[in-house]
Structure 1
Amino acid sequence: MPRTKSTCLRASDFIEPAIFLKPNCPVTGKSYIARLFHHLSTQRRKFPVRRLLTHITPLRRFTMFTLAATLTLTSLGGAVGHAQEKLAPVPSDSQPADQTTEPVVIVTLGSLNQLTQDINYITDAFGVPQFGGTFEIMSGMFARGIDRDLPVGVLVPLVDGAPEPIAMLPTSDVKQVLKQLEAQTGPVDELDDGTLVINVGANVVFIRQVGNWAIVARNRNVLDQAPADPTAIISAMGTDYDLAIRLDLQQIPAQVRDALIGQLRQGFNQAMQQQGGPDADQARQMAEQSMDQLEQVVSQTDDLMIGLNIDGSNREIVLDASFTAVPGTELATVYQGQKPIPSSYSMVIRDDAAGYLHAASSISPETLKQAKAGIENALKMAGSALGQIDELSEADVEDATDMIKRITDLTLKSYEDGKVDMGAVLLTDANVMQFALGTYVADGAEAASIVKDIANKLEGRGDAPRFEFDRDTYKGVVLHLIEADIPADADELRKVFGETVRVHLGTGEKSLYAALGDASVPLMMEMIDSAAGDNQPTAKHLAQFELNMMPILQFAQSIESNDAILTMIDSLSRASDAGTLRVLSSAIDNGQSTRIVIRDGMLRAIGAAYRQAQQKKMQEGNF
């Protein structure tokens, strides 16, 4: 898509590796990083509530870390392009590089046998087994001489400050492998010491046979930097994952990281100069806080690992991600204070659930400090954004801003108690859905007061919900009710809830509960019973989420029959699971790990839905 003359920024720039190294826009004169900051800042102003929430949740730290790691990799990758002249092939009589770091990046690819098995599984699960067969045939044709039981690895150390990739191929006869590629690379030259030389496009590549491995690099002397036994470095990652990447940020010289931060700050300053409007000062202050946290992440992160495994034997896809901070740093202190705790809401973790969400974690003082830093500016921006909505009067804006502040204050007060403890669960059956949640709050009476004040503000409006407070008490929890009429044209909602949706609330001394619909009240009572018991179990994870497609699809089909849903149910009925998606977040030393698991049933259901959609297009003539 061509760049528009107004911004010179396109969507692909957000994933383009060299975005931060591109020249200024010829139309506006602004750098690409400045335009990126400008875009992010304007989006932030459009969604102040979301921005407010990210200031007070652990998700913000994860987002900041991911951005920092991406930008660091971008900076490192860009350095490769700018160092082409410096990294030209080194003559045989040159001295080896004087300064070589440990690998900054390690990339592994699973063995051919492992990849073949897993690709056959995933293509079969999606209903396109022919693609798996194609991969098996192609790998057999072009990988002769490669050991099919060992992974492939790439190490990227810094040599004299510049990244130098070193590839390691498992083969005891690399000449046989190269012979198959002569049509693409031309004949192989052999130097006096046995080093092989080939041309790959405009690049010269050096290859050396070391035992049962072929070592490949752009720089002849860098071959000496390869490990004597590659399996000691890459075997674990290569066996556990089909594709894995490990980034060691502390191996990147401080001056490179400082240069990256300098680029970010320059782009930030350019973007902030373009800011206008009534909330420009708040936007700048909030962005400055974000920059400070991003700088902390870049400078204090130790390593990042991401691994993807298509596990044919267990019939699932697993994505692992973990990161750690440098021990003794402020960032490490944040994560050291984040541990699983005893939970009042662990009952939501149940085998018969269509879905659940559970989180039970301690909160460090450093986390609370970072959350508080952005709250005041976020509230000001929220008030400014509400003031720009034409449908709201000045009094409405003032009331809404006040409610946001009270909710935020209550959330921060709960965080000050040093923990997060919450659970939500969804159960479904034919024509019946139950949903309930419970969460710890520092002051349940204040939570009830906020809802009552909202009811007072809405009183007299024709379309306002109806409120009934203090209807009953159950085990110290005061019960309330909110009712709202469903519009006549909302046919699907009426099929689920009837003409009126009823939300039941419960407020305890240190708790808040909600149940959606009358059928969910027994589930909420069960949750209250569980929370009132002694010896609450300690959570196994900081947070966990699970979704099962089969009960949700069966409920949807019972409400209104649909061919696509029926196709997915039929596919799930032949799977070994209920179409499960699971996300687990765990504490590790000085950091955090996350595992995402997609089970076989969900893959087959998605594949079935896709195939049915394609068949429908063909029948309708929409090729």
Structure 2
Amino acid sequence: MRRLFSRSKTLRTATLALAFVSTLAMTNGGMVTQAQEQLAPIQSGSQVGQTTEPVLVVTLGSLNQLVQDINYLTDAVGMPQFGGTFEIMSGMFAQGIDKTQPVGILVPLVDGAPEPIAMLPTADVRAILKQLEAQTGPVDELDDGTLVINVGANVVFIRQVGNWAVLARNRNVLDQAPADPSSLISAMGTDYDLGIRLDMQQVPEPVRDALITQLRQGFNQAMSRQNGQDADSAREYAEQSMDQLEQVISQTDDLMIGLDIDAANRQIVLDASFTAIPGTKLAAIYEGQKPIPSAYSMVIRDDAAAYFHAAASVGPETIEQARSSVKNAVKMAGSALGQIDELSEPEVSEITDMIQRITDLTLKSYEEGKFDAGAVLLTDANQMQFALGSFIADGNEAATIVKDIARKLEGRGDAPRFEFDRDTYKGVVLHLVEKDIPAKADELRKIFGDTVRLHIGTGEKAVYVGLGDASVPLMMEMIDGASGQPQSSGDLLAQFEINMLPILQFAQSIEANDAIISMLDSLSRATDRGTLRVITKAVDNGQSSRIVISDGVIRSIGAAVRDTQRKKAMQSMPR
């Protein structure tokens, strides 16, 4: 099995950090331009200024690995010709390259500007350059054996280092390359087709400060153009997001992202991991989130069409950040509601007040130091069951909120019907909300009948929901599980899984169509049930996440795309 990196981060923070990388490149545009201006032939004697360790390391898997993986992917989606084309083209342009070794790019900063260093696995770079003379012209050689070529308007310096060729735009930057490049990139290049590692702390503090200043200036300019009633709320919310981005830039330690089309295991894997600098506020946020025993682990079951489960401690830093986010979100919601013409001012006030009560209850639950919830979907021929359960600080308050909503809706012709305190099961009070389904909603009627019924259970520290009468036994099963001893979920903070096969079989039992039939046919040739799985783990000062897309999902998506293309082709044919 291919290895996971041990250092980790969340997908959310990974996205922010990647945005930082892009912004860094743009921010240093002037510096890069100045550096390029110095890359004339006289550059062969230029000196390298203050240089960092690599800020960014990017790897591509070996050509053998890439060909194998791309052939699998294109075959799985029903387009093997594209895999064959890639194999032919890569063979034409890779003569002299060691096809068993990955390719790497290191990006140190020289006087604050990125200076990429490419590393190609070849024992004879001269032979490769000879093949490219028609595009680059003849190769020049300097006194120390460094080779020089022109690529468009750029000058590239190349040096043979053992079984590797090292390339850079600045001759002296070549000295920053490791003596054995494989020691730095082999692990990531073997694990992933595309690997990225960002070491944020190698970015000099003045450069980070300058970046933050430029981002802040852009933010202020954008906010100055905000008008309307919700401008203040939008500005506060955006200000908070900006503060969080600044926190990520200043307190991130490192980030790793890896994408692997794993032909051996017939799946696609996306790994993301993030760590913060120990002792910082960002690190404290992640350190406050640890796996805890759960009352709702019964949702993790092999026969599920889909499930979600999360059980983690909640630290004070997370609560503080959530409280600020919720405050601004409620203000923005109130402003947005106020712009709906169909709502009167008293109605907007009532809805905003209800949102505030719900968020207050959520924060109160966080303040008890944990989050524990689970949801599960089961499907069978012509039947669907869905139930969820969650820890909550005050179940009675949850029931009161629903009852107040019912009172406010009373008398409206389109309002659902409420029935409270219908029964009690193991200390959980059961309620019912039901609504007639319009005759034109044919598919919903096939699933729920003439009326959809939502069952709600409120306990002292819990809330439960079951969708439809068929889900009541499942909801009771969840209540039974919660009344016992909490179960450990190992080192997982959260996990989500969806299986396409049972969902598509249920959809077909309701109303079949060509797309569903095509996807089911493709799944019959897969090695799994069409599984998409997401897991999140806690690590020291950070988190790691993994997304796994199985063979069945890939094949069913390919079948759906081909079916759509076939229909379009038929529609475009002359009649």
Which band: TM-score by shorter chain? over 0.9
**Relative to 1, partners in 2 of residues 1:526 and 1:93: Cα closer, same or farther, differing over 3 Å?**
closer
More divergent stretch after superposition (95-104 vs 548-557):
95-104
2:110 counterpart of 1:159: yes
2:126 counterpart of 1:175: yes
2:98 counterpart of 1:147: yes
Q: Residue 249 of structure 2 is aligned with which of 281, 298, 315?
A: 298
2:379 counterpart of 1:414: no
Residue 64 of structure 1, CA deviation = 5.9
**Relative to 1, partners in 2 of residues 1:351 and 1:93: Cα closer, same or farther, differing over 3 Å?**
closer
Residue 335 of structure 1, CA deviation = 0.4
Counterpart for residue 66 of structure 1: 15
Q: Residue 470 of structure 1 is aligned with which of 421, 429, 437?
A: 421
**Relative to 1, partners in 2 of residues 1:528 and 1:517: Cα closer, same or farther, differing over 3 Å?**
same
Secondary structure at the counterpart of residue 85 of structure 1: helix
Give me the whole-angstrom Cα distance separating, in 1, the residues matched to 2:490 and 2:416. 37
Give me the whole-angstrom Cα distance separating, in 1, the residues matched to 2:258 and 2:406. 49
**Relative to 1, partners in 2 of residues 1:543 and 1:279: Cα closer, same or farther, differing over 3 Å?**
same
Q: How does 1:8-407 map to 2 (within 5 A)?
A: 63=12, 66-80=15-29, 82-87=31-36, 88-89=38-39, 91=42, 94=45, 96-407=47-358
Q: CA contact under 8 A between 1:248 and 1:303: conserved in structure 2?
A: yes
**Relative to 1, partners in 2 of residues 1:622 and 1:164: Cα closer, same or farther, differing over 3 Å?**
farther
Residue 284 of structure 1, CA deviation = 2.8
**Relative to 1, partners in 2 of residues 1:93 and 1:187: Cα closer, same or farther, differing over 3 Å?**
closer
Residue 68 of structure 1, CA deviation = 4.5
Q: CA contact under 8 A between 1:343 and 1:539: conserved in structure 2?
A: no
More divergent stretch after superposition (153-162 vs 447-456):
153-162
Q: CA contact under 8 A between 2:157 and 2:170: conserved in structure 1?
A: yes
Unpaired segments ≥5 residues, structure 2: 1-9
Counterpart for residue 457 of structure 2: 506
Cα deviations across residues 170-211 of structure 1 (Å, max 9, x unaligned)?
000111111222222122122222211111111111111111
Query: Letter of the aligned partner of 1:507 in structure 2?
Result: T
Residue 539 of structure 1, CA deviation = 4.5
Residue 395 of structure 1, CA deviation = 2.3
CA RMSD after TM alignment: 1.7
Secondary structure at the counterpart of residue 244 of structure 1: strand
Q: CA contact under 8 A between 1:427 and 1:435: conserved in structure 2?
A: yes
Query: Letter of the aligned partner of 2:153 in structure 1?
Result: A
Secondary structure at the counterpart of residue 543 of structure 1: strand
Counterpart for residue 453 of structure 1: 404
**Relative to 1, partners in 2 of residues 1:622 and 1:597: Cα closer, same or farther, differing over 3 Å?**
farther
* Larger RCO: 1 or 2 (CA < 8 Å, sep 6+): 2
Secondary structure at the counterpart of residue 67 of structure 1: helix
Q: CA contact under 8 A between 2:429 and 2:457: conserved in structure 1?
A: yes
More divergent stretch after superposition (154-163 vs 513-522):
154-163
Residue 98 of structure 1, CA deviation = 4.2
Secondary structure at the counterpart of residue 323 of structure 2: helix
Q: How does 1:400-549 map to 2 (within 5 A)?
A: 400-549=351-500
Cα deviations across residues 272-305 of structure 1 (Å, max 9, x unaligned)?
2223333333333333222222211111111111
Query: Letter of the aligned partner of 1:75 in structure 2?
Result: L
2:528 counterpart of 1:577: yes
Residue 136 of structure 1, CA deviation = 1.2
Give me the whole-angstrom Cα distance separating, in 2, the residues matched to 1:93 and 1:112. 32
Give me the whole-angstrom Cα distance separating, in 1, the residues matched to 2:219 and 2:50. 33
Counterpart for residue 52 of structure 1: none
Query: Letter of the aligned partner of 1:481 in structure 2?
Result: L
- Aligned residues between the structures: 563
Give me the whole-angstrom Cα distance separating, in 2, the residues matched to 1:234 and 1:589. 23
Q: CA contact under 8 A between 2:294 and 2:486: conserved in structure 1?
A: no
Q: CA contact under 8 A between 2:283 and 2:541: conserved in structure 1?
A: yes
